[in-house]
Structure formats: C-alpha cells, structure tokens
A and B are shown apart, each in its own frame.
Chain A
Amino acid sequence: MRTLKFLLQKEFRQIFRNKIILRMIIGLPIIQLIVMPLAADFEFKNINISVIDHDRSSYSKHLTDKIIASGYFVLNDYGNSFDKSFEQFQEDNADLIIEIPKNFELDLIRENTNELFIAVNAINGTKASVGNAYLNQIITDFNREIRLKNSTPPRLSQSSTIEIENLNWFNPFLNYQSFMVPGILVLLVTMVGAYMCALNIVKEKEVGTIEQINVTPIKKFHFILGKLIPFWVIGIFVFTLGLFGVGRLVYDIVSLGSLFTLYAFLSIYLIAVLGIGLLISTFSNNQQQAMSVAFFFMIIFILMGGLFTSIDSMPEWAQWIAAFNPVTYFIDVIRLVMLKGSEFKDIQKQFIIITVMAFIFNTLAVYNYRKTS
C-alpha cells in the first residue's frame, strides 16, 4: 500500500508538471464540446438548388417560392435551360435540380396530373438523400394545397385525407445537441483514457525509467495500478467538466436519469478503456508506435460506435465489430440515461458487457506486461 501511495504521488507530480497534458485535460473537453456539436450537425441547411422553369406560371412560381421559403434550400439559379443548370451541377454549385415542364399549370388543371423532374448530385450521399426527401415533402405539400384549391367544397368533405402528427419522444424538439453532446463526451473520455495511459507507460519504456523500476521490488500489480488510477481520476474529471461545465452551462442539457447510474457505468467503462491503453503499451516500444496503434483503434471505435451513423443500419459484419466496441455501449447508455432516464435495470446488459470487457482487456495487459524479457 505504501509503495502504491508513492507511485501515485510520483505520477500525479509528473502529470501536473507537464503543462501540455494539463492543458489537454482542461482544454480538450471544453473546446471540443463547444466546437464539435455545433459543427457536426446532420440537419442540412443551405442545400443549393437550381430551378429550371419552362412554365413561368403562377403555379411554378408558387412552387419555387415554397421551396425557398422552407429554409433548407438556397436558390442557386433560376432559368429555363437544363444544360445551363447542369453546368452549375458539374461545377458543384448546385446540389439539386428541379425541372418544371412547359404547361405545368395548364396540364395539371386540365389533366389532373403532371410530372416534375428532380436531379440530385449524389457525391455527398447524405446531403443528396436528405435534400431529396425535403424536396419531396415540399412537393407533396404543394400537391395537397392544389387539390384543396381545385376541389369543390362538397367533394372536399367526402375526400378524406390523412393528417400525420409527429410526436418526438425523449427529445421532443429533436434537439440535435442533446443527442450529440453526450456522445462526443464519450469519445473524449475514451481518447483521454486510452491515449494518455498508453503513451505514459510507453514513455517510461522509451526513457528507460521502466528498467530502473523493474530492478526494484515494486510489484507488477502495484506499478499497473499506479498507472491506471491517475488516468481513471483524470477520466472522471474530464467527464464531469464536460457534463456540467459545458453540457449544462452551454447547451442546457440536464440528465433525466440518475447521475449515480451514469457515473457507475463511467467508472467501469474507464477501466475497460484504460485496459486497452495498457494493452497497447505492452505491444509498443516507443510513443510513435503506441500513437499509431491507438489511432487505428480509435478511428474504428469512433466511426463504428453509433455516434455518427446508426449501428442498426450497418451491415451485419459491421454490427459484429460494433458489438466488440466498448464505445458503442457507453454511447448507448449515456443516451438512454440522459435523454430517456433509463435506470440501472434497463441497462443491465450493457453493464455486464462492459465489465467483461474491462476484465478481459486488463487481464490480457497484465499478462502481457512482464518485468523480464
């Protein structure tokens, strides 16, 4: 116990003397949490649209106005030549082209039907499909308006229309930030835990101090605990700073569920993440190697953790990878607890999985870490 105390004292002393690490611990959660949720927004605004209006009627004007007024689209150009608009398309100025045919209004009234042409620039797949969906919605709406206008009142009462009312549970205003901020917080904690822990141990290898430690009676177990505990504390600190300092003060996000459950999960999650860091450090001989390996895993963890893309829509093999990704479970849990107010019994499964992961990673790391070669 006494040895551990001195190891911890030494470790904290070194961390607090390292100005860059200190700035990272405090600056990273604040800056990242302020910048990223505002930037990484899936709501597409400012989709550039080219309107080709061969009709120039009041209907076509009305449709154009309706599209622009929706707030999602910006009118890039308004003309009557497809070639000219397609040029805009090719120069990447326009994301969407809508072509209104000649005699649009006339044919619509006379024949009760007409066709519109929409071309989508699918280089940015998400933007294209979202833009297309928005546009379709506007056109459907426009269609309904026309039908109401052209129908005679008695017929209106007969023709029944379905009105759809959406109700968003757990995030009633579809607030993007209350969905993203907790997820990004998870990534931050993961990065701080895995990177700092791995780099710190590898640094001892690189400088050679680990040799000096290895010839002392310090036990393997003590040395590893001496490394894990400081970064566990830092992880908790970063999480708290992000949750209260930024989440509550800047975004006004308050956890619906119990903070105790959240912190209990965080505690085990951090052990798992630190275990990964420890494992990486046992395989690496210098900080460069550790950094590259950690980066490789971190990219997979981040992109396949369900923060940016839904895991349910991934192919099955990818879902299996996600199932072995600790980030998946914490993102799941933090959203369930904070937005839905889930309790311990609801997230039991995640608790068990992360505990098993923590156990496996650390056992492997301890097994792999030897005092002799």
Chain B
Amino acid sequence: MPEVILENISKSYQDGKVKAVKNVSFSVEKGELFGLIGPDGAGKTSLFRVLTTLLTPDSGIATVFGCDVVKDYKSIRQHVGYMPGKFSLYQDLTVEENLNFFATVFGTTIQENYDLIKDIYVQLEPFKNRRAGKLSGGMKQKLALCCALIHRPKILFLDEPTTGVDTVSRKEFWEMLQRLKKQEITILVSTPYMDEATLCERIALIQEGEIMSINTPQGIIEEYPKKLFSIKSSNMIQLLDDLRKYDSIDSCNAFGEYHHISFKSENTELAKSELTTYLKRDRDYKDLVINDINPTIEDCFINLMN
C-alpha cells in the first residue's frame, strides 16, 4: 500500500473564489523521493498543508501511512516531519535549544536519534549556541531539516526547501536528501526549480492546482512528443521574434543561451534545413548554430502548460 494517497483532493480559499487545488490524485510509495514541481501559486503548499493536517480539504480523501488526514490527524502528527517554506523555528532560541525543544515535544531526545541528523548537525555544531535568527540562510535550512528529522519521522514533507538558498547549499541539501532516502524515510519535496526535478525519483508537475503529469523524470522527458532543437545567434532577441513568426515552428522558447524550438511537421530534418536556409539567406543571420537536444523537464512543463 502506498505511503501517501490523495484522491480527488480539492481546496479553495475565500469562499470558493480562489481554487488552489483542483481534484488532485496521486500516491507516493514508501521510501520514495517524490517531487512536486510547479511555479509559485500552483498549489504545492496547499497540498502539503493538507497532508500535514494543517488544512482540511474541501473534498476528497487523503491518507498518510493509512491514516486519514482529517480523522486520524493525531497519529499523523506523531510521525511526520514538516519543514515549511518559510523559516519557522524560534529565532530567539539557540540552535541547540530549538533542536532540544522539538525533540522533547515529540517525547524523544537528541541523543536517541543523533545518527539520523549527524551528517547535517556536525556542520551546525560550531554555532550551536547561536540564536537561530542569526544564522545564514543555508544554516537555517539545515537546522530546520534537523528539527523536522529529530523524531525520526516516517515521512518528511519539505515545502520549497531550496528557495532562496545559494547554489552550493542547494546542491548540498539535495545530497543530504539522497542520504536520508537510504534511511527508508519517504520524502515529499516541492520546488519551483525545474533543474531539481531530475534529482527526484518520481515527480508530479503541477500548475494552477492541477496535476499535469506524474512520472519519473526520465519518463516525463520521454513523453515529450516532438523532437527538440536549440538555436543560437548573435542577435537572440531578433531571432526569437523571427522564429515565432516563421510558419513551420511549433514552439519557440528562450532558454538562457539558446532558444528551444520544435517543428510542426514530422520530418524535422527537412524543416530544420528549410529554416536554416530561410534565416541565413532571407534574414541574414550569419553565426547561426542549431543543435539536436534532449528536452529538459522545463521543456516538458512548458509543453504541458500549452
């Protein structure tokens, strides 16, 4: 039986005016690292709050390790770790006091579960007498993770843990999650960063309260229906404009250094050479580079959005 099950969960705010979550169903297996990927306002936090029993859904059933989130909220609270998107530990208590406090409210001690947080806590140890509010962003995240783990939860809910954290700390954070996975803790993580999606075992792409696709990152990429090309020239802004006006282009999106394009026709090789000729001859692009590429999660997301 899956560890987390959601069936047709809906939640709206302001008396139904704002529909945050619409008929969402998915499940997460035990020991899985599951990612909820979507932009701000997609409904990720609402879903997390439903699963952590902080929010009662308007309709639908959700269970966490077999317990209903509405009826058995008490037993769920014993065994889940939740790390909200906003740093929400006591800023006026020290690192150690915060950890101690959360250990005791769960009826345990730091020593008892030290092995679980050891890897993370050693980095915090030099600052253990510092007030939590005075820590750097990356350190705050580590402390929050420690506090969410201190009672050895069965499931860890991490709501945008890497938002506002620098690249190095983000990488470190994901490495920590991979290690935790080995401890057989089910992890649900949400993120607006598409590049982090590939670090999850399975992901759900969510947009405006609806799940667009659920699969492994590889599966989602394979589901991408078209062949994708990247294109680059010295005048990228003009190029984007020209590409969008060009008839046989199906989609064209700016991706940093390159634009990603796909064609309407099945015969992509022909379409590609036609486009190259058109751009070089008629539009006078000299330093044009076109490559075949594999789609990224972001390409898939944009494709699904349309």
Using a CB–CB cutoff of 8 Å, the interface residues on chain A facing chain B are 2-3, 6-7, 10, 13-14, 17-18, 207-209, 211-218, 371-373
Contact = CB atoms under 8 A, between A and B. Distances in A.
Given A13-B97, A372-B55, A372-B56, A215 B105 contact: no
Scoring B56, B89, B92, B97 by chain A CB atoms within 10 A of each residue's CB, the highest score goes to B92
29 contacts: A2-B104, A2-B107, A3-B107, A10-B93, A10-B97, A13-B97, A14-B93, A18-B92, A208-B87, A208-B88, A209-B89, A211-B82, A211-B84, A212-B84, A212-B89, A212-B147, A213-B105, A214-B54, A215-B52, A215-B54, A216-B105, A216-B106, A217-B77, A217-B78, A372-B54, A372-B55, A372-B73, A373-B55, A373-B56
Interface of B: 52-56, 73-74, 77-78, 80, 82, 84, 86-93, 97, 101-102, 104-107, 147
Give the dominant DSSP class at B's interface. Answer: loop
A212 B73 contact: no
A9 to B, nearest CB: 8
Contacts of B147: 212
Closest 4 CB pairs of A and B: A208-B88, A6-B104, A215-B82, A216-B105
Contact of A212 (B53, B88, B91, B93): B88
Given A2-B107, A212-B102, A214-B54, 15 more contacts: A2-B104, A6-B104, A7-B105, A10-B93, A17-B92, A207-B88, A207-B91, A208-B86, A211-B84, A215-B53, A215-B82, A217-B78, A217-B105, A372-B55, A373-B54
A213 B73 CA distance: 14
A207 B132 CA distance: 13
Contacts of B92: 14, 17-18
Contact of A3 (B52, B53, B104): B104
Nearest to A212: B88
Given A208-B84, A373-B54, A217 B106 contact: yes
Contacts of A215: 52-54, 77, 80, 82
Scoring A18, A214, A372 by chain B CB atoms within 10 A of each residue's CB, the highest score goes to A372
Given A215-B53, A217-B74, A217-B78, A209 B102 contact: no
A345 B33 CA distance: 68
A207 B53 CA distance: 19
A3 B106 CA distance: 9
A2 B108 CA distance: 11
A373 B84 CA distance: 16
